[in-house]
Structure formats: structure tokens, C-alpha cells
Amino acid sequence: MKVMAFNGSPRKDWNTATLLGKVLEGAAARGAEVEMIHLYDLAFTGCTSCFACKTKGGKSYARCAARDGLTPVLARAAQADALVLGSPVYLACVTGEMKSFMERLLFPYLAYDKARSSLFPGKVRAAFVYTMNVTEAEMKERGYTVHIDSNARFLERVFGNCEILTACDTWQFADYGRVVSDYFDTGRKIRSRQETFPADCAAAARLGERLVSA
């Protein structure tokens, strides 16, 4: 079994990447082959609206026709058994790199038919991991869940399912004393890093195990 994780954060060793790593550790512990893709390492764009993936009888029907750094990654993703997307929340949304990746990953499989069917051949396990500065209460108050639920619906439509993991009130800076950040309670941030984030990591590992066992 092959499990692929896609890191939509520009940082390779911080909250999002750490949780994705734990997901892969959990999957590997159940015998899966795992791979981490750092999207910021790749040179690619979002959808360019060429509609080659929707052209009747076209050689790229249900497949992205663009050729760039994402092309071989999408080919491997099409053969994977489980896909895990991960992104920090920037301006109430996923990062720009993750959004561009989602356009290229999902749009070719979204059929423009009345049944709103998926052109993806079969079903695979899918999950989305989010990290964010705000607390869980603030996440709901600010409407982040609308965006999170929308992404889940697209993944469910294409792949058949989507599990969500949210890590809130995360540690953003290595040194809060070096940045203007008096909006945040540093003591609370420290407690969250020491007490809550380890639980998030454990939940991520269990998610990885479920992706394989399911």
C-alpha cells in the first residue's frame, strides 16, 4: 500500500510537516510505503482553465494536461492508495501552494455532468490536516470551518471519503520575543506546545494507521 502526504507549508520542519510526518509514521507502522511531497519545492501553477481535462475525446480527458514540476507528482498520486493533504491556515484559507495543488489534483476528476460524478478510477482513502494559530473556539467563530468543510466535500466527491484533523493554537515562532505578537498569550502558547501538540501528533499517527487498516 502506498500513502502520499503533501505539505502545503513553506516550512519543512514545523507544525504541518510534523503532523504529516506522524501520519506517515503511523501508516508505515502498518506496513505502508510512504512518501512526503513538499509543495514549495516544486515549480508549478494552479489550473490555467485550458479545459483539456474536459474536452470530449481529448487525450487529456480526466487528466491535467499541464506540464511542469507537479506533473510527475500527480501521476504518482493517481496510483496511490491514500492521499493526505496538509496546510497551515493563512488568511482563513489554505496556503496558495496548496490551493494551486488542489486545483490540479481535483478539477480533472470533477465531471461536468448532472450527477456531479467523479472520473477518478476507484476509491482511495483521503485526509486533510490543518494547523492554525487560533483556538478551536476562534476557528469556529471566524468561519474557518466553512472552508474546511468545503475542501472535505471536494475530496469526498472525487475520492469517496475525507477525514479531517485540525491542530489549533499552534506554536508559530521559535522565539516570540523577537516578533511583534502581543495579540497572543505566550504562556498559553507554551502550554499548548507542551500539552496539546503532542496529543495532536498522537492523533495524526492514529490517522495514518486508519488510512492503512481501512
Return the pLDDT at 178.
Answer: 84
Return the pLDDT at 185.
Answer: 82
Return the pLDDT at 173.
Answer: 82
Residue 121, judged by CB atoms within 10 A of its CB (0-12, 13-18, 19+), counts as exposed
67's grid cell: 506540464
Return the pLDDT at 186.
Answer: 82
Return the pLDDT at 64.
Answer: 95
Tell the residue number behind the cell numbers 502545503, with chain if given: 8
CATH entry 2.60.120.10 includes domain 2-213: no
Which residues in the chain land under pLDDT 70? Answer: none
Domain segments of the chain as ranges: 2-213
**The model's pTM:** 0.93
Return the pLDDT at 100.
Answer: 97
